[in-house]
Amino acid sequence: MSETYDVVVVGAGPAGYVAAIRAAQLGLKTACVESGSYEGGLGGTCLNWGCIPAKALLESAALAHNLQHHGARMGVKPVQVEYDFPAAVKRSRIITRKLTAGVKYLLGKNKVDIVEGRGRLAGAGRVAVDAEGDDRELATRNVILATGSVMKTFPGFELDGEKVIGSREALGLQELPRRMAIVGAGFVGVEFADVFNAFGVEVTLIEALDTLVPFEDPEIGKALERSFRKRGIRNLTNTRVKELDRESSPMVLTVVNPDGSETAEETDIVLMAVGRRPVTEHLGLDDNGVELEDGFIRIDKWCRTSAEGVYAIGDVAGQPMLAHVGSHEGIIAAEHIAGVARHPVNYGNIPSVGYCHPEVASIGMSQAQAEEAGYEVVTGKYPLGAHGRALTAEAADGFVKIVADAQYGEVLGVHMIGHNVSELVAEVGMARELETTLDEIVAHAHAHPSMAEAVMEAAFAALGRSIHM
């Protein structure tokens, strides 16, 4: 052991590397340990095998879909669209490499020591790094655990990398199957359904709960289902997968239908998208007094664990498992260590986005949640069917629904599906940080024509003063 660090961050995903940079900015001597294991490397799952490559493929998918289905109508007639999925994958890997190199540059620029190897707690003030022959121990005043998460699966559906794959394999497929069954219709499942449908694969999406994106407002799930159906994606909701015969060719997937009957579905590949579990193993948590809750590391509002001087952030520290939550927690943990933290994470105001087409985005409470919380609720819904900007983009599917407090007009939540709604959610998030009311939203002249006008129109609708409806 040489000199003592102020902070050692274990894991360099969007939670860990952001924490390390912020800590270093605040004058703390900082190291960031990264094992490159699981789905990681500098930039973590997000940059390597998650958010970024998935969004790159979704952009390729949108181009393929638009050329084929809207091109002629929009005055661009493709001679013949040919799919080249390996080229799309190659592009996604180039973007990933550029961004992960950027993380390395930023850590270096901020004088964070990058330590390669697998980190674990090794007693008070110590982190052991196992690095195959180059094991070492780091002395530190504080540790931030940011080890992220890995894909979940269940018995009978273990990944084999060929017939049953996870998101990582899906992001690197070199040959497309004719048929694909996707198990799980959360954001990851619907994004892959979008990608592979656009590249000509026959996609069946299987979801055990009532709707697609089941943790969103039910109206959103239903609207996405309609839109996907129009594109030829088969949606089996309220349907459970029971067993898979991998030996038959094609494979046979037995599903349990909503009425309890069973159907045998033929498929060439199964993509599991049933969620992720936190990486808590081999970290020495038990021996060092770090407690878990529901499998995640338990943290308080400043991201402190039950062990003195040990913080946890990102996917390993609980829901919502999203990159921006991890980064935000990283900043708060670093600032708390430096003694300059001002406010904890506002978990009630976290945007959720699914980047399928149409996009899905929400923030704050659903109508049902707001009513349950005792609010007298008013809602305003603005459909995109006659919205100028949506029509010009040949994307008139969807709506914006705003949920507000009837008495004061405070915006309690927004739920949207449609073109570029991933960008609209930022306006509402900021509005809610500032406790903005419906009146204040409509007081701002939103640029015309823009998708952002749809938020203003939904606010007008909630006020009973619709202009364009």
Binding residues for ligand FAD, rule: CB under 6 A, are 10-16, 33-38, 40-41, 44-46, 50-51, 54, 118-120, 146-149, 167, 188, 279, 283, 314-315, 321-324, 326, 355
Which run of H or E residues covers position 256? strand 251-256
DSSP string, 225-236: HHHHHHTT-EEE
Residue 107 amino acid letter: L
CB of residue 279 vs ligand FAD: minimum separation in angstroms? 5
DSSP assignment, residue 393? T
Judged by CB, which is closer to ligand FAD: 143, or 461? 143
320: preceding bond cis by omega (within 30 degrees): yes
Residue 176, number of CB atoms within 10 A of its CB: 15
Judged by CB, which is closer to ligand FAD: 148, or 398? 148
* Half-sphere exposure (Cβ direction) of 341: Cα atoms closer than 13 Å: 21
Which run of H or E residues covers position 103? helix 85-109
Residue with token string 């990608």: 195
CB of residue 59 vs ligand FAD: minimum separation in angstroms? 13
Q: Give the list of residues 6+ apart from residue 119 with CB closer than 8 angstroms, or none.
A: 8, 10, 11, 33, 35, 127, 128, 129, 283
Judged by CB, which is closer to ligand FAD: 279, or 417? 279
Q: Name which of 86, 87, 111, 114 is nearest 100 in CA terms.
A: 114
* Half-sphere exposure (Cβ direction) of 355: Cα atoms closer than 13 Å: 17
Judged by CB, which is closer to ligand FAD: 327, or 437? 327
Judged by CB, which is closer to ligand FAD: 116, or 219? 116
CB of residue 272 vs ligand FAD: minimum separation in angstroms? 11
CB of residue 149 vs ligand FAD: minimum separation in angstroms? 5
CB of residue 141 vs ligand FAD: minimum separation in angstroms? 19
Judged by CB, which is closer to ligand FAD: 148, or 184? 148
Q: From residue 462, how far is each of 149, 451, 456 by CA, in Å?
A: 40, 18, 10
Judged by CB, which is closer to ligand FAD: 14, or 383? 14
Angstrom distance (rounded) from CA 359 to CA 227: 11
CB of residue 171 vs ligand FAD: minimum separation in angstroms? 7
Pairing of strands 276-278, 149-151: antiparallel
Judged by CB, which is closer to ligand FAD: 314, or 418? 314
231 — phi, psi (to 5°)?
-85, -5
DSSP assignment, residue 79? S
Residue 254, number of CB atoms within 10 A of its CB: 15
Q: Give the list of residues 6+ apart from residue 368 with CB closer than 8 angstroms, or none.
A: none
Q: Give the list of residues 6+ apart from residue 308 with CB closer than 8 angstroms, or none.
A: 124
Handedness of CA 337, 342, 348, 352 (dihedral sign): negative
What are the catalytic residues? 448
Angstrom distance (rounded) from CA 328 to CA 59: 26
Whether residue 453 contacts residue 370, with contact meaning beta carbons closer than 8 Å, is answered with no
Which run of H or E residues covers position 62? helix 51-69
CB of residue 282 vs ligand FAD: minimum separation in angstroms? 6
CB of residue 11 vs ligand FAD: minimum separation in angstroms? 3
